[in-house]
Structure 1
Amino acid sequence: MNDCIPLIGQQMRKLVQRWFTAEPLVRYAELFIEDKLQESTKFGQLTIIHYRMFGGTEEVVYQAAAAVELFILASDILDDLQDQDAPAKVWMQVPQPAAIHVASALLTLSQQAMLECAMDSETRIALAEMMNGQILRAANGQMIDIMNEITDEQSYFDMVKQKSAALLLFACMTGVMLAGQSWHSTVAEYATEVGIAAQIQNDLRDLLRWDDKSDFLKRKRTLLTLYLIEGEAEEDRWINDYFQGKLSVDDVALNRERFREACERTGAILYGSVMSRMHYNRFEELLGSIQEASPWKSTFLQILNQETA
């Protein structure tokens, strides 16, 4: 699938050059796209795999993959602007109103590009409804995440299904439906499972960080921080006190090793690893149940394994 990555980037640039006419909008959009292409285009690749998996043969899939990646890019920009935890990203180094405007324009461009991909009105309507439905689900999940309103394990999984999993579902189902198929419930289920696995892996990564992305220092409620603050050990009471605001960042700033030790001793890290693996295993089980997936399975897993296994 590596040979499709340049084609996705090429289509992203072409769409910007065709639809954006204001020079600053073009300039910033191209700058942001170049930054994006230095990282992963796994969402677009998943669109292509599912299109081929279900019998699609046309080159239009590369524009669909570009549409998906434009939406992911816009989401990343808005997410970073909301969290203010990625100062090195290029969109964090331009005037904020410009970054917000570019993200908004990319969202609309993504939808326009997707509508152009469908060969007939029935597919076009189905794609648009699916895309908008998943985008709205992701918007709901993102709002819950922004407000930090996770209260227990169930509310965490509900948020992840709406946020992270909805975006993976969107990428996969775009390929399925563009190939002329209807909504595929098994694809939807395994996209959700792998989305949950990936989010828990992200939470594991951010649990032990001690910088702007630290979930602990930001008092962010995740599956893992909830596990920690629900602990009853007296020696870990300071963690709960910090989340309740009884301690300040300055009060815990020197507790990095103490926090790491607590994460290991309480089993929080092991718990997260087991939960992530459980959802990933369910994804693999569901993937194996789809006959069309067999020739593409190794490529599919190769794209995902780096972040979710």
Structure 2
Amino acid sequence: MKQEIKRHMERMVDDYIYIEDLNAYLKAFIADKEQERGSWSEITVVTHYMLGGQSAHIDRMAAVTECVMLALDIVDDLQDQDHDTKPWMQCPQPVALNAILALLMGAIGELGQLELNPRLLVEMSTMITRSVNGQQKDVTHFVSSVDDYLLMTQEKSGSLFRFACLMGYASLDCTAETIETLHDLADCLGLIHQIENDRKDLVRWDLKNDLLSKKRTLPALYLLSIEDDAFRLFQDYYAGSITVDDLLTQKEQLLHMIHTSGCIEYSQVVQSVCLQKAEALCEQLEAASPWKETFKEITFGSYLSEQFR
């Protein structure tokens, strides 16, 4: 994250939060966010420049992107009760909830100061609530098929990429075709990243994972769909026939089954299809170099590199 963007985030905190402890908590959350690899604000900035933008306020727009994404990160961790090392998971929960409200209201106030077109505010709200709809499906175990999963992921994760892009082109006069291509590309990016997270999470036991929560991720759906006694342990757990303690006593057997089942390879094939579509959409996008190539690199370039190793 650029230091100028971080400074705008901290300035927004100072503009709206005068209670010292909450102000300090928010700045600690921002400092933690700064350490993450990659940044949503970078997508906003690069989108702006690749579509011909030259706004003096693009860093302020990017700061709004980061504030909204930080608020949504906190919500996600509170819902899943994971990432215990994050500062918002170590503070009292009522404080974390106030921080979410402060970040969202501060972002709205900043957009008001920038005098954005009200139509774009409606579009931003639509994107964020589309993500909330997807998140609701996720936490209520709505997903029961691969089609459900793909739609939920585009809503939950793809909408966040749409939002980061929108903050970059909000002040520009883009064609409807360009915006539609960006939206389709954003949904592909959401799928690429979410499939990667789900694939890794299935075999991770150091933190609360999706398997223990019985989430129907893409690899989990593969394991649930095949009638094979080798997958019975996994399927019995999802069906409620055995407890999590029963499952954990056979952890090594379960991990071996996951690694030899083909579910990881299946997920990689679906991810590969999404990568091919993302490449095609990126090629079709009318955008300036070298920003277009930078956008590709920061959003899905590393996955392409891994694919061709």
Give the structure-2-normalised TM-score. 0.92
CA contact (8 A) 2:46 2:168 kept: yes
1:11 corresponds in structure 2 to: 8
CA distance in 2, matches of 1:281, 1:255: 38
65-74 or 264-273: which moved more? 264-273
1:112 corresponds in structure 2 to: 109
2:235 corresponds in structure 1 to: 240
**Partner deviation per Cα, 1:74-98 (whole Å, 9 max, x = no partner):** 0011111111011111111111001
Is residue 103 of structure 1 aligned with residue 100 of structure 2?
yes
What is the deviation of 1:69?
Answer: 0.6
1:47 corresponds in structure 2 to: 44
State the Cα RMSD in Å: 1.7
CA distance in 1, matches of 2:244, 2:149: 24
CA distance in 2, matches of 1:87, 1:291: 43
2:123 corresponds in structure 1 to: 130
What is the deviation of 1:182?
Answer: 5.3
What is the deviation of 1:134?
Answer: 0.4
123-132 or 193-202: which moved more? 123-132
Pick the aligned partner of 2:277 from 270, 273, 282: 282
CA contact (8 A) 2:282 2:296 kept: no
Which residue identity lines up with residue 154 of structure 1 in the other structure? D
CA distance in 2, matches of 1:261, 1:235: 10
Is residue 172 of structure 1 aligned with residue 172 of structure 2?
no
1:158 corresponds in structure 2 to: 151
Inter-CA distance 272–216: structure 2 relative to 1 (3 Å threshold) = same
CA contact (8 A) 1:288 1:294 kept: no
Match runs of 1:22-37 below 5 Å: 22-37=19-34
2:136 corresponds in structure 1 to: 143
What is the deviation of 1:259?
Answer: 2.2
CA contact (8 A) 1:71 1:110 kept: yes
CA distance in 2, matches of 1:56, 1:304: 19
CA contact (8 A) 1:203 1:224 kept: yes
Is residue 299 of structure 1 aligned with residue 309 of structure 2?
no
**Partner deviation per Cα, 1:50-88 (whole Å, 9 max, x = no partner):** 111122112201010010110000001111111101111
Inter-CA distance 41–110: structure 2 relative to 1 (3 Å threshold) = farther
CA distance in 2, matches of 1:114, 1:204: 37
Q: Following TM superposition, where does structure 1 have runs of at least 4 consecutive aligned residues deviating by more than 6 angstroms?
A: none
Question: Which of the pair has the greater relative contact order for Cα pairs under 8 Å at 6+ separation?
Answer: 2
CA contact (8 A) 1:173 1:188 kept: no
Match runs of 1:197-276 below 5 Å: 197-276=192-271
Inter-CA distance 265–41: structure 2 relative to 1 (3 Å threshold) = closer
Give the fraction of aligned pairs with identical amino acids, expressed as a percent. Answer: 34
What is the deviation of 1:291?
Answer: 2.7
What is the deviation of 1:293?
Answer: 4.4
Pick the aligned partner of 1:60 from 57, 61, 67: 57
1:226 counterpart SS class: helix
Task: Please list every run of 5 or more consecutive structure 1 residues that lacks an aligned counterpart in the other structure.
Answer: none
247-256 or 163-172: which moved more? 247-256
Task: Please list every run of 5 or more consecutive structure 2 residues that lacks an aligned counterpart in the other structure.
Answer: 305-309
CA distance in 1, matches of 2:93, 2:218: 31
CA distance in 1, matches of 2:113, 2:225: 50
**Partner deviation per Cα, 1:204-250 (whole Å, 9 max, x = no partner):** 11011114332112211111101111121112211100011111111
CA distance in 1, matches of 2:288, 2:77: 34
CA contact (8 A) 2:50 2:292 kept: no
Which residue identity lines up with residue 262 of structure 2 in the other structure? G
